[in-house]
Amino acid sequence: MTILYYIDIVGTMVFAISGALTAVDKKLDFFGVSAVAFITALGGGTLRDVLIGSTPVGWMNDLTYLLMIVIGITISVIFRKIVQKLRRTFFLFDTVGIAAFTVLGLQKALLIGIHPIIAVMMGMVSAVFGGVIRDIVCNEIPLIFRKELYALICLAGGILYVIMESYSIAPMVVILTTFTFIAIIRVLAVRFHWKLPDIK
Amino acid sequence: MTILYYIDIVGTMVFAISGALTAVDKKLDFFGVSAVAFITALGGGTLRDVLIGSTPVGWMNDLTYLLMIVIGITISVIFRKIVQKLRRTFFLFDTVGIAAFTVLGLQKALLIGIHPIIAVMMGMVSAVFGGVIRDIVCNEIPLIFRKELYALICLAGGILYVIMESYSIAPMVVILTTFTFIAIIRVLAVRFHWKLPDIK
Amino acid sequence: MTILYYIDIVGTMVFAISGALTAVDKKLDFFGVSAVAFITALGGGTLRDVLIGSTPVGWMNDLTYLLMIVIGITISVIFRKIVQKLRRTFFLFDTVGIAAFTVLGLQKALLIGIHPIIAVMMGMVSAVFGGVIRDIVCNEIPLIFRKELYALICLAGGILYVIMESYSIAPMVVILTTFTFIAIIRVLAVRFHWKLPDIK
């Protein structure tokens, strides 16, 4: 679906902005900020492609992704104060970005013949591991391992997708339902501070 | 050898438990604990497969590995106190796991046509780098880089394997000897606190 | 060009020494020092090869690289005090190493059919990410993300290469010009303390 592609590239830009802002907080220089923006935006999809053996990794075949990241870095550096005030707006883009990354990552893995259960994991990896690698590079324990629960939402959305597909539901419906499910549940999770129980 | 396969999947579960316990100590949430368990159990073999170009990485072709990890996580979360008391027992499983990972990793690399010297390294990587990646994700300098010496035992076992094979010794004998060598030396090393000299 | 190959293997040894010295400072044991030396020397090229899908990764096809790293580790451990006094000399080798890594990495990516813009990035990744991975493993925020600017010099050199090549300039001239450009600018940058502006 073409619309998914557009959400994907906008999501890439939003992830780049999120990475750049984190790097600025860590007092990195211009190269560090750019590198962390790239890693955050492309890390999840890159890890998925390397694991499933789809190389050269996806973003190397479409320069649009690089362009969107460069735009994201430019916005972050020039309009940093404004961007930080608009966090609420960005949160919405971020959420649709995660939903798109999950669906597209899952589809790519299925297309290559990966088992559906692993493909669901790869959808989640696409959406979440850019942030994981960003945190590792910035010398933090990954945030998503400590308090955000959206990885589980991506997994749940992926399972929904695979189940619907097994019932031969029209692809368009499968995609839209999964996408909407992930986006809405994530908004609710953040709005009502849902969190996973600690293990003790 | 089929027996090696069974040791491999049990070793995977034991590595998952070790990862989960580390993650619990780090106060990660349920997703973080699960993610670190996966990374610890599969990280070494995954890195080996990516480096030698055997993708999709091995565990994607056999869901048994995922199942064993899920069991490992469940055991860690539900019976945590008991597991921690049984560390001695687990140490034995861990040791046979490392021996199996080394032999299987080495064989896989040789099968693909990797030079024996590199294949020996890949055997060690399979056994050891799950723990290395676990420590990096948990924001620690890898333990094995500081005080455990079992990486060298894996390398020594691998060299033994390659030498025996070059003398056309029966595969079964080569495998059993290597496996036993690694397991016994590791037990001795831990029992008698062997360690590498510091560099100063 | 054969001369580039020799600079490449000497550069590999110098990177191994740099990694080993960092690891010694971090109080790692002999295995840790060796592992960090390998990672520093081979990490950049390995990451490039994995991303562009050229596996088994390059150094697995030529044992000379391993040999040079072993020599580098031996030198670091035995002649550590002398090596630390010779930092100035090593800096020169390091600089020609970076220039060679950039050119060779760029060429490899172009050869595989990667888009020139991405190939320029891959040249920089080859030269720089060994140090990035070294710092991550040693639990530091990568130095190059904070104050060295040679990543940008590698990118600039790569762009120069691609532009010259597009004008059908003789390959030998393209290579020598790029190589010299990177080496000289880096020496100037360090000599005159050029640095990137902070982002605030």
Per-residue pLDDT reduced to its tens digit, C168-187: 999 999 999 999 999 999 88
Per-residue pLDDT reduced to its tens digit, B128-160: 999 999 999 999 899 888 877 889 999 999 999
Query: One-letter amino acid identity for A147?
Result: K
Distance from A32 to chain C by nearest Cα, in Å? 4
Higher pLDDT, C22 or B117: B117
| pLDDT the model gives residue C79 | 86
Distance between CA atoms of C158 and C18, rounded to whole angstroms? 24
Q: What percent of chain A has pLDDT over 70?
A: 97
Write the DSSP assignment of A63-75 as a string of letters: THHHHHHHHHHHH
The predicted model gives A37-60 an average pLDDT of 94
Token pair recorded at residue A150: 């959206």
Query: Is there a contact between B14 and B72 (Cβ–Cβ < 8 Å)?
Result: yes
Domain count across chain B: 1
Token pair recorded at residue C23: 């690891």
List b or e across C19-36, with b for residues whose CB sees 16 or more CB atoms inside 10 angstroms: bbbbbbebebbbbbbbbb
| pLDDT the model gives residue C193 | 81
A50 touching B (Cβ < 8 Å): yes
Q: At residue A5, does pLDDT exceed 90?
A: no
Helix (H, G, I), strand (E, B) or coil at B63: coil
CA-CA-CA-CA torsion sign (A108, A110, A116, A117): negative
pLDDT level of residue C96 (50, 70, 90 thresholds): confident
Q: Which DSSP symbol is given to B50?
A: H
B141 touching A (Cβ < 8 Å): no
Token pair recorded at residue B154: 């894996």
The predicted model gives A43-60 an average pLDDT of 94
| pLDDT the model gives residue A92 | 77
Q: At residue B188, does pLDDT exceed 70?
A: yes
| pLDDT the model gives residue C108 | 94
Distance between CA atoms of C26 and C64, rounded to whole angstroms? 28
B140 touching C (Cβ < 8 Å): yes
Q: At residue A48, does pLDDT exceed 90?
A: yes
Q: What share of chain A is helix, strand, coil (3-state, %, to 5)?
A: 80, 0, 20
B21 touching C (Cβ < 8 Å): no
The predicted model gives C50-65 an average pLDDT of 94
Mutate to test the interface with B, among A50, A125, A141 (most CBs of B within 10 A): A141
**C95 is a domain residue:** yes
Distance between CA atoms of C18 and C5, rounded to whole angstroms? 20
| pLDDT the model gives residue A200 | 60
| pLDDT the model gives residue C113 | 93
| pLDDT the model gives residue A143 | 86
The predicted model gives B5-13 an average pLDDT of 89
The predicted model gives C28-48 an average pLDDT of 94
The predicted model gives A175-198 an average pLDDT of 86
- Exposed/middle/buried for C8, CB within 10 Å: 0-12, 13-18, 19+? buried
Query: Are B29 and A136 inside 8 Å of each other by CB?
Result: no
What range does the domain containing B96 cover?
A: 2-191
Distance between CA atoms of B176 and B100, rounded to whole angstroms? 10
| pLDDT the model gives residue C200 | 60
**A46 is a domain residue:** yes
Indicate the length of chain A as a whole number.
200
Question: Which residues fall within 8 angstroms of residue A141, CB to CB, at 6 or more apart?
Answer: A135, B26, B28, B32, B137, B138, B139
In chain B, which residue's Cα lies nearest the Cα of A50? B50
pLDDT level of residue B199 (50, 70, 90 thresholds): low
Helix (H, G, I), strand (E, B) or coil at A79: coil
**B198 is a domain residue:** no
Write the DSSP assignment of A147-198 as a string of letters: T--HHHHHHHHHHHHHHHHHTT--HHHHHHHHHHHHHHHHHHHHHTT--PPB
Of B26, B30, B137, Cβ closest to residue A136: B137
**C109 is a domain residue:** yes
Per-residue pLDDT reduced to its tens digit, B53-99: 998 999 999 999 999 999 999 998 888 888 878 877 777 777 888 99
Query: Is there a contact between A121 and A155 (Cβ–Cβ < 8 Å)?
Result: yes
Of A141, A144, A152, Cβ closest to residue B138: A141
Query: Is there a contact between C90 and C14 (Cβ–Cβ < 8 Å)?
Result: yes
| pLDDT the model gives residue B149 | 81
| pLDDT the model gives residue C198 | 65
The predicted model gives A171-188 an average pLDDT of 92
Least confident of A80-89, A118-127, C7-16, C130-139: A80-89
How many other CB atoms are there within 10 angstroms of residue A176's CB atom? 15
Distance between CA atoms of A174 and A123, rounded to whole angstroms? 15
Question: Which residues fall within 8 angstroms of residue C93, CB to CB, at 6 or more apart?
Answer: C10, C11, C14
Quote the mean pLDDT of chain A.
90
pLDDT level of residue C122 (50, 70, 90 thresholds): very high
| pLDDT the model gives residue C93 | 77
Query: Are A141 and B28 inside 8 Å of each other by CB?
Result: yes
Distance between CA atoms of C6 and B193, rounded to whole angstroms? 43
List b or e across B164-187, with b for residues whose CB sees 16 or more CB atoms inside 10 angstroms: bbeeeeeeeebbeebbebbbebbe
| pLDDT the model gives residue B65 | 95
Residues of C in contact with A29 (CB under 8 A): 145-147, 149, 195-199
**A167 is a domain residue:** yes
Distance between CA atoms of C83 and B67, rounded to whole angstroms? 51
| pLDDT the model gives residue A130 | 93
**A198 is a domain residue:** no
**B83 is a domain residue:** yes
Convert chain C into a string of H (helix), E (strand) and C (coil): CHHHHHHHHHHHHHHHHHHHHHHHHCCCEHHHHHHHHHHHHHHHHHHHHHHHCCCCCHHHHCCHHHHHHHHHHHHHHHCHHHHHHCHHHHHHHHHHHHHHHHHHHHHHHHHCCCCHHHHHHHHHHHHHHHHHHHHHHCCCCCHHHCCCCHHHHHHHHHHHHHHHHHCCCCHHHHHHHHHHHHHHHHHHHHHCCCCCCECC
Per-residue pLDDT reduced to its tens digit, C69-90: 999 999 988 888 888 788 777 7
- Whole-model pTM: value is 0.93
- Exposed/middle/buried for B37, CB within 10 Å: 0-12, 13-18, 19+? buried
Query: Are B112 and C139 inside 8 Å of each other by CB?
Result: no
| pLDDT the model gives residue A165 | 93
Per-residue pLDDT reduced to its tens digit, A57-113: 999 999 999 999 999 999 988 888 888 788 777 777 778 889 999 999 999 999 999
Distance between CA atoms of B31 and C153, rounded to whole angstroms? 41
Distance between CA atoms of C104 and C7, rounded to whole angstroms? 10
Distance between CA atoms of A69 and A49, rounded to whole angstroms? 19
**A197 is a domain residue:** no
| pLDDT the model gives residue C199 | 62
Q: Which DSSP symbol is given to B199?
A: P
A200 touching C (Cβ < 8 Å): no
Q: At residue B106, does pLDDT exceed 90?
A: yes
| pLDDT the model gives residue A174 | 94
